[in-house]
Amino acid sequence: MIILAKLAWTGTVVRAFLGLILAWAGIVKIQNPEAFIKIVTAYDLLPAGLVVLWGIFLPWIELVTGLFLFLGLWHKSAVLSSSGLFFLFAVAVSINILRGADIACGCFGFNDTNLYVVLFQDLVFLLCCCFLFFLKSTPYSLDHCLYTYRSGGLS
């Protein structure tokens, strides 16, 4: 029972951390969409017609996913969405590493970051999402509160 409680609390910390990371990344990009669109263009993975659309909508997807993850609302959906984002980011970075591209990652403030570090970071975040996927809910999450309220008991 102690191990399960520690796993639940670890899940809470991981969930909140990943939620903050995604929300922060989204906010930074929302504040400067032109700079982010330039970075999306530099990745050279999307047709020209989709670059602006992706550059505008991706930050909002990151922000909403991050907020849902941080709050623990719709746990599985938020974890799957964040997993998809981290997977896409890892693929995009990997392709550009293989191309030998020297571009900014576009993660948190458009700084020039080593793409190998970014890839490692995305893979660690993806592993964290895999861990979270197998947890039903975590303490101090809206899902936990709603489940407890609906079941009529305290847990």
Q: Count up the domains in the chain and report the number.
A: 1
Domain carrying residue 14: 2-151
- pLDDT, mean of each 10-residue run, the chain (155 residues): 68 90 93 90 89 93 94 87 94 92 76 82 94 78 64 49
Check residue 109 and give its pLDDT.
Answer: 64
- Confirm if 122 and 89 have CB atoms less than 8 A apart: yes
Check residue 154 and give its pLDDT.
Answer: 46
d(CA 94, CA 111): 18
d(CA 11, CA 70): 11
Residue 79 identity: V
